[in-house]
Structure 1
Amino acid sequence: MRRRLIQSTLAVVLVVIAVFGVSLVLVETRTITESARERVESEAVRLASIVDSRLLVEEKVTAAVLRDQVGEDRYVVVRLPGRAPIEIGDKPEGDVISASAPGEEGETVTVQEPRSSVTREVGRTLLIIGLVALLAVIAAVLLAVRQANRLASPLTDLAETAERLGSGDPRPRHRRYGVPELDRVADVLDSSAERIARMLTAERRLAADASHQLRTPLTALSMRLEEITLTDDPETVKEEATIALAQVERLTDVVQRLLTNSRDPRTGSAVTFDLDEVIQQQLAEWRPAYRSAGRAIVTSGKRHLRAVGTPGAVAQVLAALIENSLMHGGGTVALRTRVTGNQAVIEVTDEGPGVPTDLGARIFERAISGHNSTGIGLAVARDLAEADGGRLEMLQAKPAVFGLFLSRTPPRKSRDDNRQTVR
């Protein structure tokens, strides 16, 4: 591209120089020639007037008298009536510029100048024009190189940016070049890089969330399947299989919720449900793990509460809190239900040392953990709670008390929703 820009600029300059240079040479040559002819004619008229003035006062006209009046490289012939011609200077050879002027006393003065003097003057003019043209070509080449670098370097940089995007490096470079068209391309590439970065972040987040959220349900399911393989009692097999099927349904709901939340965290399918059913299901699922750890998990508080939300999402939030207490807490874990205003609250607490002071409110940030865990569970739990219009808060640090707040009143349907229902 650099070569093409330089060649095109140089070609334009050469064409301009050729067109205007040839015209200028022709005009200057004609001007110099006409100027030389006018000088010779003026010289002849001047010498004729000198001869006239001397003849009027009856002074002698000789070559010695007129020699000082004749310019260099000029040949003058003065013809007087009845006398021999008076010659001044050397007669030029070859082509000459000649002019004659008659006098009042009958004399004639002829002045000749060799055309070589005109040729020399034309040559000097051509040399000056050639030097100017050469300087113009050099300036054009330098300008073309500068412009080519100014345009080619950003294009090379933009190509490298596009290649980086294609190779999986979506970091925007935020470089601008002072050329509106190139800056527009840079803006589009930076916007694309940011979109790709968000997509990659969402995919990594989905993978991490899925790995974290599915780990415990899969472990519980594998335990149920092991129970089935170790027993010969048909009733036990049937009971364990029923529980395993229920766990598979919850796994399906977990995956669906994760996918939905990754696309739009605000998307929810809130319904009115019984909190006791979700709490009892979580107790039944986690009791074996707590029993193996020599700890207990209990429930207390107000019964038969109904709340608005997605049962699967609420179950995942409670599972995250219960797992957090199992891994980082101590003693008995209690799930307490209560009512505050128009909200149903589920509090999860344990008898452990609580949340470290340096974590504080950052406990819900991703990758924040005080015991070398992934730091994903509480962040996902808060996202799930907010997706259903609820909220998850840490009510107390020592001992740790987390509260899940859920609305008890179904949200009002908008007119558009009613229209869609009627349709």
Structure 2
Amino acid sequence: MRARLTLLVAATTVLVLLAFLVPIALLLRQVAHEQAMNRANAVVQAIVPLAGGDVLTLQLAVTATAVPVTVFLPDGTPVGAPATATPAVRLAAADGQALTVATGAGRELVVPVVGRSGTSVVRTVVTNAELTRGVSRAWLTLAGLGIALLLVGLAVADRLARTIVAPITQLSDVSHRLAGAELTARAAPAGPPELREVAGALNHLAGRIQDLLAAERERVADLSHRLRTPLTALRLEAESLRDPDEAARVASAADGVARAVTAVIQQARREMSASAAQCDATAVVADRVAFWRVLAEDTGRAVTESLPDGPLPVAVAADDLAAALDALLGNVFAHTPDETPFAVTLTAHPAGGAILTVADEGPGFPPSAAERGSSGGDSTGLGLDIARQVATSFEVSAAPTGGAVVTLAIS
């Protein structure tokens, strides 16, 4: 936009300069022509009174002129600058009228003088160099002036364009920051009134989005708190069961729901800053596998765990990664028969981050499972969506043994 504004001003300035400088250049050439002719005419008029007099006096006067002048006496003898009688000279001698004739060398000026002994003709030639003397220098001066004015116009246009483009660039930067969840970003009103109005509207929109998100987080947190009461009642009911195994199983399920509710509360109140979210994927995956291993032993499932020897940092909050892995392992327990083995593998990604794989030897996912919000077994499909939220890439495939394999790439 800045370049286009500058180009527009440059084109306009060039047109204006041409409209003024071209007529001025033509006028200067005409003025130079007229001045040269006036000078020559003045010299000729000074010689005319002497043309019918003494030849010696005439000779001295002619040789003293600033321009070459020739006087053709009535008998055709030239006095002054050497020259031959031209058609214009002969015509002036015959008709007795002054003439100005254009020739290849310039302009020929002849003036007849009628005396007692006949008609003499005073002749001079104004060369093309004399007719255009000073014109080239004047044109160069005009061209330099035009270029200087054009450069000044470009500098002013660039400065004005910068005052317009800079606020637009700032608005674009603020909009990108808002798109990146930096909701505290605000635009400084600057530039023309229209841009200041747009900046104010963008700031108002950012504030409104921030207020809506805060209200949404509070509503989710309030709903999560409301769920704690029935969960507590469920845990008390589990403790009153007579069968210890049944009581442990129900209590474990209630604890899992309580942890999910706690994660929802923390998620709702967490500041939206992706750069600050990070955790040790090895520690998180090891903790969640240890939790689910207890239930796997109760259902006769073999668990295979493959983790890095050291920490593996990822740019995901620990609660989010734990919720994603819990969702995937919950799907394994919910949609595969008891005694179905499964494996959890965590490896470092070559480009940074980690690759988390959950594989089982169950019946596998239906073809629609890879679609968002779709699952089998009368499920809502939210488990896979929870896992998608923390992954930079998400893939559902079939294991060689016929089971399901879910692979998450985590940045």
Interval of TM-score (by shorter of Structure 1 and Structure 2): 0.3 to 0.5
Instruction: Give the TM-score normalised by the residue count of structure 1.
Output: 0.45
Instruction: Give the TM-score normalised by the residue count of structure 2.
Output: 0.46
